[in-house]
Amino acid sequence: MQNFFSGLYELFLGRPLPANFTNDYREVIFPNTGLMLLLITLALVLIYYYVLNSMMSTGLYKTKHWVLFLVLNAIIAFAIPIFQVQGNEVEVHSYTYTFAFVNTLYSIVLFFVFSILLKRGSVQAWTTPTKWPTKK
């Protein structure tokens, strides 16, 4: 898990900076951030499709409502790396904000993928954000 998330983030970011914190990023910050990203994104998708649009029947099934949850997820995903870096007493600088931006991009992709995979079980939002693939 540690190598997976380190490789995933370093693919776009390169080696962690400053160099004396490379091990902190690879061993703690990258894995914690990646795991939190997966869990929070999955939780928000489940809340959107199965709580708000299945159990509660709130009528938040339009694309604009889905985008609202996507933006909420992106904001949370931007904050996670910053808090992880600060919590591990690593210097916050431009690398940290680039890391947060990359995490935000990953969150958007994950939110879309989880939406496509999980929307079929929703009572009202099974066509959000797209009608493809259709419910059978």
* Residue where the block lists tokens 């904050």: 79
Residue 112 near residue 71, CB atoms below 8 Å: no
Average pLDDT of span 93-112: 96
Specify the 3-state DSSP secondary structure of 68. Answer: helix
pLDDT band at 39; cut points 50, 70, 90: very high
pLDDT band at 134; cut points 50, 70, 90: low
Does residue 82 surpass a pLDDT of 60? yes
At CA 43, angle to CA 41 and CA 48, rounded to 5? 95
pTM over 0.85: yes
Question: Would you kindly state where each structural domain of the chain is located, as residue ranges?
Answer: 1-121
